Copies of this chain bind each other. A is one copy, B any other.
Protein backbone atom coordinates (compact mmCIF):
# COMPACT_ATOMS: atom_id res chain seq x y z
CA UNK A 1 0.00 0.00 0.00
CA UNK A 2 1.32 3.44 -0.95
CA UNK A 3 -0.04 5.65 1.81
CA UNK A 4 -0.86 9.28 1.17
CA UNK A 5 -3.09 8.98 4.24
CA UNK A 6 -0.44 9.12 6.96
CA UNK A 7 0.49 12.57 8.16
CA UNK A 8 3.68 11.13 9.56
CA UNK A 9 7.31 11.75 8.69
CA UNK A 10 9.13 9.12 6.65
CA UNK A 11 11.27 6.90 8.87
CA UNK A 12 14.45 8.43 7.46
CA UNK A 13 13.39 11.81 8.84
CA UNK A 14 13.86 10.51 12.38
CA UNK A 15 17.43 10.95 13.70
CA UNK A 16 17.45 7.55 15.37
CA UNK A 17 21.12 7.21 16.32
CA UNK A 18 21.30 10.77 17.60
CA UNK A 19 18.15 10.34 19.70
CA UNK A 20 19.49 7.09 21.16
CA UNK A 21 22.47 9.04 22.35
CA UNK A 22 20.35 11.96 23.54
CA UNK A 23 17.96 9.77 25.54
CA UNK A 24 20.81 8.07 27.37
CA UNK A 25 22.63 11.35 27.93
CA UNK A 26 19.48 13.10 29.15
CA UNK A 27 18.96 10.46 31.82
CA UNK A 28 22.62 10.40 32.83
CA UNK A 29 22.65 14.16 33.21
CA UNK A 30 19.29 14.71 34.90
CA UNK A 31 17.83 11.28 35.51
CA UNK A 32 15.91 11.77 38.70
CA UNK A 33 14.02 14.77 37.28
CA UNK A 34 13.38 13.05 33.96
CA UNK A 35 12.17 9.84 35.56
CA UNK A 36 10.07 11.08 38.49
CA UNK A 37 6.74 12.77 38.76
CA UNK A 38 7.41 16.39 37.93
CA UNK A 39 5.71 19.66 37.11
CA UNK A 40 2.58 19.20 35.04
CA UNK A 41 3.84 21.94 32.71
CA UNK A 42 6.70 19.77 31.55
CA UNK A 43 10.47 19.43 31.72
CA UNK A 44 11.96 22.64 33.08
CA UNK A 45 14.88 23.28 30.70
CA UNK A 46 12.74 22.63 27.62
CA UNK A 47 10.01 24.93 28.90
CA UNK A 48 12.56 27.64 29.47
CA UNK A 49 13.99 27.32 25.98
CA UNK A 50 10.52 27.44 24.46
CA UNK A 51 9.58 30.41 26.61
CA UNK A 52 12.60 32.34 25.41
CA UNK A 53 11.91 31.38 21.80
CA UNK A 54 8.36 32.71 22.07
CA UNK A 55 9.07 35.69 24.29
CA UNK A 56 7.01 34.65 27.30
CA UNK A 57 7.54 33.51 30.88
CA UNK A 58 8.26 29.78 31.29
CA UNK A 59 5.11 29.42 33.36
CA UNK A 60 3.05 30.08 30.24
CA UNK A 61 4.50 27.09 28.40
CA UNK A 62 2.67 23.79 28.76
CA UNK A 63 4.51 20.83 27.25
CA UNK A 64 2.19 17.90 26.62
CA UNK A 65 2.27 14.30 25.41
CA UNK A 66 1.89 15.40 21.80
CA UNK A 67 0.04 18.41 20.50
CA UNK A 68 -3.32 16.71 20.17
CA UNK A 69 -3.68 15.97 23.84
CA UNK A 70 -2.73 19.50 24.77
CA UNK A 71 -5.30 20.78 22.33
CA UNK A 72 -7.94 18.76 24.16
CA UNK A 73 -6.85 20.35 27.45
CA UNK A 74 -6.88 23.87 26.05
CA UNK A 75 -10.21 23.40 24.30
CA UNK A 76 -11.75 22.05 27.48
CA UNK A 77 -10.41 24.97 29.51
CA UNK A 78 -11.65 27.49 26.94
CA UNK A 79 -15.11 25.91 26.64
CA UNK A 80 -15.41 25.88 30.43
CA UNK A 81 -15.26 29.67 30.36
CA UNK A 82 -18.65 29.69 28.69
CA UNK A 83 -20.03 29.42 25.18
CA UNK A 84 -20.10 26.23 23.15
CA UNK A 85 -19.54 27.77 19.75
CA UNK A 86 -16.15 27.18 18.11
CA UNK A 87 -15.07 28.46 14.71
CA UNK A 88 -12.76 26.40 12.52
CA UNK A 89 -11.48 26.53 8.99
CA UNK A 90 -13.35 24.47 6.43
CA UNK A 91 -11.58 22.11 5.88
CA UNK A 92 -9.69 21.58 9.14
CA UNK A 93 -7.74 18.87 10.98
CA UNK A 94 -10.05 15.92 11.49
CA UNK A 95 -8.74 14.94 14.91
CA UNK A 96 -9.52 18.43 16.19
CA UNK A 97 -13.08 17.95 15.00
CA UNK A 98 -13.25 14.72 17.00
CA UNK A 99 -11.98 16.45 20.12
CA UNK A 100 -14.44 19.31 19.75
CA UNK A 101 -17.33 16.92 19.20
CA UNK A 102 -16.36 14.98 22.34
CA UNK A 103 -16.35 18.22 24.31
CA UNK A 104 -19.82 19.07 23.10
CA UNK A 105 -18.77 22.11 21.08
CA UNK A 106 -20.95 23.56 18.35
CA UNK A 107 -18.52 23.75 15.49
CA UNK A 108 -18.97 26.19 12.64
CA UNK A 109 -16.69 26.34 9.62
CA UNK A 110 -15.35 29.50 8.06
CA UNK A 111 -14.43 29.06 4.39
CA UNK A 112 -10.89 29.16 3.02
CA UNK A 113 -9.41 29.88 -0.35
CA UNK A 114 -5.87 29.54 -1.66
CA UNK A 115 -4.81 32.40 0.65
CA UNK A 116 -6.14 30.61 3.72
CA UNK A 117 -9.01 31.54 6.01
CA UNK A 118 -11.31 34.17 4.48
CA UNK A 119 -11.18 36.95 7.02
CA UNK A 120 -14.29 38.65 5.61
CA UNK A 121 -16.22 35.46 6.17
CA UNK A 122 -14.83 35.25 9.70
CA UNK A 123 -16.02 38.78 10.39
CA UNK A 124 -19.47 37.89 9.10
CA UNK A 125 -19.55 34.73 11.24
CA UNK A 126 -18.59 36.73 14.32
CA UNK A 127 -21.51 39.05 13.71
CA UNK A 128 -23.99 36.25 13.11
CA UNK A 129 -24.14 34.38 16.38
CA UNK A 130 -23.11 34.32 20.02
CA UNK A 131 -19.45 35.10 20.74
CA UNK A 132 -17.45 31.97 20.01
CA UNK A 133 -15.36 30.36 22.73
CA UNK A 134 -12.45 30.49 20.28
CA UNK A 135 -11.28 30.27 16.69
CA UNK A 136 -9.11 27.25 15.88
CA UNK A 137 -6.80 27.90 12.95
CA UNK A 138 -3.75 26.32 11.33
CA UNK A 139 -2.44 29.31 9.41
CA UNK A 140 0.72 27.80 7.94
CA UNK A 141 0.87 24.74 5.64
CA UNK A 142 -2.54 23.84 6.92
CA UNK A 143 -3.63 20.31 7.67
CA UNK A 144 -5.34 19.19 5.45
CA UNK A 145 -5.05 21.76 2.68
CA UNK A 146 -1.38 22.74 2.70
CA UNK A 147 -2.55 26.36 2.36
CA UNK A 148 -0.96 29.29 4.15
CA UNK A 149 -2.70 32.40 5.40
CA UNK A 150 -1.27 35.37 3.50
CA UNK A 151 0.60 38.21 5.19
CA UNK A 152 -2.10 40.80 4.75
CA UNK A 153 -4.80 38.46 6.05
CA UNK A 154 -2.65 37.64 9.08
CA UNK A 155 -2.58 41.28 10.02
CA UNK A 156 -6.32 41.67 9.49
CA UNK A 157 -7.10 38.51 11.46
CA UNK A 158 -4.91 39.59 14.38
CA UNK A 159 -6.53 43.03 14.40
CA UNK A 160 -10.05 41.63 14.12
CA UNK A 161 -9.44 39.19 16.97
CA UNK A 162 -8.15 41.92 19.21
CA UNK A 163 -11.04 44.24 18.31
CA UNK A 164 -13.67 41.59 18.99
CA UNK A 165 -12.01 39.94 21.98
CA UNK A 166 -11.84 36.68 20.03
CA UNK A 167 -9.51 34.05 21.46
CA UNK A 168 -7.45 32.39 18.73
CA UNK A 169 -5.88 28.96 19.03
CA UNK A 170 -3.07 28.96 16.47
CA UNK A 171 -1.94 25.42 15.71
CA UNK A 172 1.44 25.54 14.05
CA UNK A 173 3.18 22.17 13.93
CA UNK A 174 4.30 22.60 10.32
CA UNK A 175 5.40 26.24 10.20
CA UNK A 176 9.13 25.61 10.57
CA UNK A 177 9.04 22.86 7.93
CA UNK A 178 9.33 25.51 5.19
CA UNK A 179 11.02 24.58 1.90
CA UNK A 180 11.03 27.98 0.23
CA UNK A 181 9.66 31.51 0.49
CA UNK A 182 9.92 33.90 3.41
CA UNK A 183 8.61 32.89 6.83
CA UNK A 184 5.53 34.85 7.85
CA UNK A 185 4.92 36.15 11.35
CA UNK A 186 2.71 33.95 13.47
CA UNK A 187 -0.59 35.27 14.73
CA UNK A 188 0.90 34.96 18.21
CA UNK A 189 3.69 37.30 17.21
CA UNK A 190 1.34 39.75 15.51
CA UNK A 191 -0.82 39.86 18.63
CA UNK A 192 2.17 40.18 20.97
CA UNK A 193 0.90 37.00 22.58
CA UNK A 194 -2.38 38.59 23.64
CA UNK A 195 -5.50 36.57 23.05
CA UNK A 196 -3.64 33.95 21.02
CA UNK A 197 -2.80 30.47 22.29
CA UNK A 198 0.10 29.19 20.20
CA UNK A 199 0.59 25.45 19.73
CA UNK A 200 3.37 23.51 18.12
CA UNK A 201 5.14 20.19 18.38
CA UNK A 202 8.34 18.26 17.84
CA UNK A 203 6.41 15.47 16.11
CA UNK A 204 6.98 16.86 12.63
CA UNK A 205 10.54 18.04 13.20
CA UNK A 206 12.18 15.44 15.47
CA UNK A 207 10.07 12.31 16.06
CA UNK A 208 6.34 11.79 16.53
CA UNK A 209 6.82 8.83 18.88
CA UNK A 210 8.44 11.08 21.48
CA UNK A 211 5.02 12.76 21.79
CA UNK A 212 6.23 16.21 22.67
CA UNK A 213 3.83 19.01 21.82
CA UNK A 214 3.68 22.40 23.48
CA UNK A 215 1.42 25.37 24.08
CA UNK A 216 2.14 29.00 24.79
CA UNK A 217 -0.86 29.92 26.89
CA UNK A 218 -2.44 33.24 27.62
CA UNK A 219 -1.87 34.04 31.31
CA UNK A 220 -5.51 33.48 32.25
CA UNK A 221 -5.44 29.97 30.79
CA UNK A 222 -2.42 28.68 32.68
CA UNK A 223 -4.23 27.56 35.82
CA UNK A 224 -7.29 26.00 34.13
CA UNK A 225 -5.28 24.21 31.42
CA UNK A 226 -2.83 22.86 33.99
CA UNK A 227 -5.73 21.68 36.14
CA UNK A 228 -7.14 19.67 33.23
CA UNK A 229 -3.68 18.24 32.50
CA UNK A 230 -3.03 17.21 36.11
CA UNK A 231 -6.31 15.39 36.30
CA UNK A 232 -5.56 13.65 32.99
CA UNK A 233 -2.04 12.38 33.62
CA UNK A 234 -0.39 13.93 36.73
CA UNK A 235 2.86 14.50 34.84
CA UNK A 236 3.59 14.27 31.12
CA UNK A 237 6.27 11.85 29.94
CA UNK A 238 9.36 13.77 30.89
CA UNK A 239 11.81 11.36 29.26
CA UNK A 240 10.74 12.35 25.74
CA UNK A 241 10.91 16.02 26.66
CA UNK A 242 14.35 15.63 28.21
CA UNK A 243 15.50 13.82 25.07
CA UNK A 244 14.29 16.66 22.85
CA UNK A 245 15.99 19.14 25.15
CA UNK A 246 19.26 17.21 24.94
CA UNK A 247 19.08 17.38 21.13
CA UNK A 248 18.50 21.14 21.32
CA UNK A 249 21.18 21.67 23.96
CA UNK A 250 23.87 20.08 21.85
CA UNK A 251 22.86 22.06 18.77
CA UNK A 252 21.28 19.16 16.91
CA UNK A 253 17.79 20.55 16.38
CA UNK A 254 18.43 23.01 13.55
CA UNK A 255 20.69 20.72 11.48
CA UNK A 256 18.12 17.96 11.82
CA UNK A 257 15.34 20.31 10.79
CA UNK A 258 17.33 21.26 7.69
CA UNK A 259 17.66 17.57 6.87
CA UNK A 260 13.93 17.00 7.40
CA UNK A 261 13.12 19.95 5.15
CA UNK A 262 15.27 18.51 2.37
CA UNK A 263 13.68 15.08 2.67
CA UNK A 264 10.18 16.54 2.58
CA UNK A 265 10.91 19.07 -0.15
CA UNK A 266 11.95 16.25 -2.50
CA UNK A 267 8.70 14.44 -1.67
CA UNK A 268 6.57 17.51 -2.30
CA UNK A 269 8.41 18.07 -5.58
CA UNK A 270 7.78 14.44 -6.57
CA UNK A 271 4.09 14.79 -5.85
CA UNK A 272 3.69 18.09 -7.71
CA UNK A 273 5.60 16.69 -10.70
CA UNK A 274 3.48 13.54 -10.73
CA UNK A 275 0.29 15.58 -10.56
CA UNK A 276 1.49 17.78 -13.44
CA UNK A 277 2.32 14.69 -15.49
CA UNK A 278 -1.01 13.06 -14.85
CA UNK A 279 -3.20 16.18 -14.72
CA UNK A 280 -6.50 14.36 -14.34
CA UNK A 281 -9.28 16.25 -16.12
CA UNK A 282 -11.12 18.65 -13.88
CA UNK A 283 -8.63 18.38 -11.05
CA UNK A 284 -6.62 21.08 -9.30
CA UNK A 285 -4.34 21.14 -6.30
CA UNK A 286 -2.59 23.36 -3.80
CA UNK A 287 1.15 24.09 -4.09
CA UNK A 288 2.41 24.30 -0.51
CA UNK A 289 5.75 25.94 0.28
CA UNK A 290 6.21 23.60 3.21
CA UNK A 291 4.55 21.10 5.49
CA UNK A 292 3.26 17.61 4.89
CA UNK A 293 0.11 17.87 2.76
CA UNK A 294 -1.56 19.05 -0.35
CA UNK A 295 -5.21 19.23 -1.19
CA UNK A 296 -6.62 18.00 -4.45
CA UNK A 297 -9.92 18.88 -5.97
CA UNK A 298 -10.51 15.63 -7.83
CA UNK A 299 -13.59 16.48 -9.79
CA UNK A 300 -15.05 13.11 -8.76
CA UNK A 301 -16.59 11.73 -5.57
CA UNK A 302 -13.68 10.93 -3.26
CA UNK A 303 -15.45 8.25 -1.19
CA UNK A 304 -16.11 6.21 -4.28
CA UNK A 305 -12.56 6.81 -5.52
CA UNK A 306 -11.08 5.79 -2.18
CA UNK A 307 -12.62 2.33 -2.31
CA UNK A 308 -11.11 1.72 -5.72
CA UNK A 309 -7.81 3.31 -4.73
CA UNK A 310 -7.37 1.02 -1.76
CA UNK A 311 -8.08 -1.96 -3.99
CA UNK A 312 -5.32 -0.57 -6.24
CA UNK A 313 -2.91 -0.18 -3.32
CA UNK A 314 -3.11 3.58 -2.72
CA UNK A 315 -4.55 5.27 0.37
CA UNK A 316 -5.55 8.88 1.01
CA UNK A 317 -8.03 10.70 3.24
CA UNK A 318 -11.32 11.93 1.81
CA UNK A 319 -11.96 15.63 1.87
CA UNK A 320 -15.24 15.18 3.69
CA UNK A 321 -13.40 13.86 6.76
CA UNK A 322 -12.12 17.38 7.35
CA UNK A 323 -15.54 19.02 7.61
CA UNK A 324 -17.87 18.72 10.62
CA UNK A 325 -20.42 16.01 9.89
CA UNK A 326 -18.79 15.44 6.51
CA UNK A 327 -20.58 18.51 5.15
CA UNK A 328 -18.04 19.56 2.55
CA UNK A 329 -15.07 18.33 0.56
CA UNK A 330 -17.00 15.57 -1.19
CA UNK A 331 -14.85 15.75 -4.30
CA UNK A 332 -11.59 16.59 -2.55
CA UNK A 333 -8.76 14.59 -1.02
CA UNK A 334 -5.84 15.20 1.31
CA UNK A 335 -2.63 13.77 -0.04
CA UNK A 336 0.21 13.54 2.45
CA UNK A 337 3.58 13.38 0.72
CA UNK A 338 5.51 13.07 3.96
CA UNK A 339 5.71 9.32 4.33
CA UNK A 340 6.27 7.48 1.02
CA UNK A 341 9.45 7.72 -1.02
CA UNK A 342 9.56 10.00 -4.08
CA UNK A 343 9.35 6.91 -6.34
CA UNK A 344 6.30 5.61 -4.49
CA UNK A 345 4.74 9.04 -4.71
CA UNK A 346 5.11 9.05 -8.51
CA UNK A 347 3.63 5.58 -8.76
CA UNK A 348 0.77 6.31 -6.37
CA UNK A 349 -0.28 9.50 -8.09
CA UNK A 350 -0.20 7.77 -11.48
CA UNK A 351 -2.49 5.04 -10.16
CA UNK A 352 -4.90 7.61 -8.71
CA UNK A 353 -4.99 9.55 -11.98
CA UNK A 354 -5.70 6.36 -13.83
CA UNK A 355 -8.59 5.53 -11.49
CA UNK A 356 -10.02 9.03 -11.87
CA UNK A 357 -9.91 8.65 -15.66
CA UNK A 358 -11.64 5.27 -15.50
CA UNK A 359 -14.25 6.69 -13.13
CA UNK A 360 -15.17 9.07 -15.91
CA UNK A 361 -15.57 6.17 -18.31
CA UNK A 362 -12.31 6.79 -20.12
CA UNK A 363 -10.38 3.72 -21.16
Contacts from A to B (Cβ < 8 Å)? 6, 8-9, 11, 14, 16-17, 19-21, 23-28, 31-38, 65-66, 68-69, 72, 95, 98-99, 102, 207-211, 231-240, 243
Q: Taking CB as reference atom, which chain B residue is nearest A20?
A: B27
A37 to chain B, nearest CB (A): 5
A37 to B28, CA, bound (A): 26
* Residue in B17, B99, B236, B243 whose CB lies within 8 Å of A211: B236
A21 to B33, CA, bound (A): 16
The 7 closest A-B pairs by CB, nearest first: A24-B24, A16-B31, A20-B27, A35-B207, A23-B23, A35-B209, A237-B237
* Residue in B21, B69, B207, B240 whose CB lies within 8 Å of A232: B69
For the complex, would chain A's binding face be called helix, strand, loop or mixed by DSSP majority? helix
Are A239 and B238 also in contact (CB < 8 A) when A95-B231, A208-B37 are? Answer: no
Total copies of the chain: 2
Is the Cβ of B237 less than 8 Å from the Cβ of A65? yes
* Residue in B35, B36, B66 whose CB lies within 8 Å of A234: B66
Is the Cβ of A231 less than 8 Å from the Cβ of B99? yes
A238 to B238, CA, bound (A): 12
Are A23 and B209 also in contact (CB < 8 A) when A68-B234, A232-B69, A233-B66 are? Answer: no
Q: Taking CB as reference atom, which chain B residue is nearest A227?
A: B98
A14 to B66, CA, bound (A): 25
A237 to B9, CA, bound (A): 16
Chain B residue numbers with a CB within 8 Å of A32 are: 11, 14, 16
Chain B residue numbers with a CB within 8 Å of A207 are: 35-36
* Residue in B6, B16, B26, B66 whose CB lies within 8 Å of A35: B16
Is the Cβ of A14 less than 8 Å from the Cβ of B36? yes
A35 to B95, CA, bound (A): 21
Q: Taking CB as reference atom, which chain B residue is nearest A43?
A: B209
Chain B residue numbers with a CB within 8 Å of A35 are: 14, 16, 19, 207-210
Q: Taking CB as reference atom, which chain B residue is nearest A243?
A: B239
